[in-house]
Amino acid sequence: MNVGYVHTFEVPENNIDKGRLKVSVVNEENVPIKGAAVRLSYTGNPDNIIGESGTDGDGISIFNDLRTPPIEYSMEPGNRQPFSEYDIAVSAPGFDNVNISGSDMFSGELSIQNVRMSARDSSQNNIVIPVNTLYGDYPPKIDEEEIKPMGQSGEIVLDRVVVPEIVVVHDGPPKDAEADNYYVTYKDYIKNVASSEIYATWPQETLYANILAIQSITLNRVYTEWYRNKGKDFTITSSTAYDQKWMAGRNIFDNISAAVDTIFANYIARPNVTQPLFTQYCDGKRVSCPKWMRQWESKTLGDNGYNALEILQSFYGDDIYIDSSEEISGVPASWPGADLTIGSTGSKVRQMQEQLNTISNAYPLIPKINADGIYGEQTADAVKVFQKVFKLPQTGVVDYPTWYKISDIFVGVSRIAELA
């Protein structure tokens, strides 16, 4: 087995497939940094630079045709490493250098490495990304009840399921007082865990099933105030024994990111139970978990045409269903319930138009529009530009992912303006 933090050096000549990497560089206020130098090398051979590029006006640098192992390596469990690993060095005038080791790459997938640079204080930010839990050696999960007992003396619980704006991640076991706490937006947390716990090459419905299990565990911890009721100052840990693996600074995968954007408010539920289920899982090969989802079996079910709910019911029982939180913290208003497109009218359209106009103050490529509550060609064109800037499908339609991306960016831009 490969210890979680130890990286093996795959000979590049044995990597016959190709993947892509997008490096996105921003400052501490999330403003893109243009002209940052990005250098790429194989993990284990940092002196051999295989790619070098500067970021564009959006803070983006793209590397195509990067070598990876054959896709077949990620389709069956085994000892062959199914991903290649790259080191990324980023530098920019006025900022501390950032060095990332172990950014993983799968055949046919787009990896996204987000880099946040701090104003220079003569130091370097060195990040080492552990290997995926399906390949590395991590502590097995400790069995817990999927439905937590409620109403104990002095216990504080929420009265409804809420998607939090921020998840406080304790980067270690619960009793490790020396471990750091990280404040991470909820969606970024889910994307990180999913990219750490499953393979991006797996069938789409398998990805959805595993993401739903990850979200349900997270929302159970939020709903029950699990750790805070034990006197802790965090939401969840990064320990695989207690929770699920989150890795500081790791890359994510484009298809996993898109899946999370589509279903982030969903969780797994049972009839007459308010709390999200604590849906534990294991790989099902090195670790046995007859009561939980077994990840490699979920992959096989996806291969056989099962949808996400059918996959989950195969492990957790036929009575489970997919529920959705109606309250999402940190956004001005919830999803209107249907796509906004040409011909749509009303207060939700006006609100979205006003938010786009605020966003355009920080992102001038997005044109100003008349906030009249009528979704016309002008609004559709502005939405397309927004979608292009923030790497969404350029449809001109405000669907579920676009609505919440507009909300996220609006909140961020508004907070920066308040601090100015």
> Could you give the residue range(s) of every CATH 1.10.101.10 domain in the chain?
332-414
Share of the chain above pLDDT 90, in %: 80
The residue among 313, 166, 323, 139 whose CA lies nearest residue 243 is: 139
| Long-range Cβ contact pairs of 172-180 (< 8 A, separation 24 or more) | 172/237, 172/238, 172/239, 173/237, 173/239, 173/241, 173/242, 174/227, 174/230, 174/232, 174/237, 174/239, 174/242, 180/248
Residue 145, burial from CB neighbour count under 10 angstroms (0-12, 13-18, 19+):
exposed
Segment of 10-24, 40-54, 83-97 carrying the highest mean pLDDT = 83-97
pLDDT band at 339 (very low <50, low <70, confident <90, very high): very high
> If you average pLDDT over residues 232-259, what whole number do you get?
97
Taking only the tens place, the pLDDT of each residue in 95-141 is: 999 999 999 999 999 999 999 999 887 677 899 999 999 999 999 99
Residue with tokens 């979680």: 4
pLDDT band at 158 (very low <50, low <70, confident <90, very high): low
Mean pLDDT of 314-340: 90
Rounded Cα distance between 268 and 255, Å, is: 21
Model confidence at 359: pLDDT above 80: yes
186-224 confidence digits (pLDDT tens): 999 999 999 999 999 999 999 999 999 999 999 999 999
Do β-strands 97-105 and 84-91 pair in parallel, antiparallel, or remain unpaired? antiparallel
Per-residue pLDDT tens over the stretch 11-24: 556 789 999 999 99
Please state which of the four CATH numbers 1.10.260.40, 1.20.970.10, 3.40.50.620, 1.10.101.10 is assigned to the domain occupying 332-414: 1.10.101.10
Pinpoint the residues of the chain covered by CATH 2.60.40.10. Answer: 2-131
Local confidence band at 1 (pLDDT 50, 70, 90 cut-offs): very low
What does the pLDDT read at residue 3?
Answer: 45
> Is a pLDDT exceeding 90 seen at residue 8?
no
Q: Which residue has the tokens 């130098």?
A: 37
pLDDT at 353: 97
Q: What is the pLDDT of residue 98?
A: 96
Q: Does domain 2-131 have CATH number 3.40.50.1580?
A: no
In this prediction, residue 340 has a pLDDT band, given cuts at 50, 70 and 90, of very high
Q: Return the closest-CA partner of residue 312 out of 272, 263, 252.
A: 263
Residues 265-285 have pLDDT tens digits of 999 999 999 999 999 999 999
Instruction: Look over the chain and give the mean of its residue pLDDT values, rounded to a whole number.
Output: 92
Supply the pTM of this predicted model.
Answer: 0.89
Give pLDDT, residue 2. Answer: 45
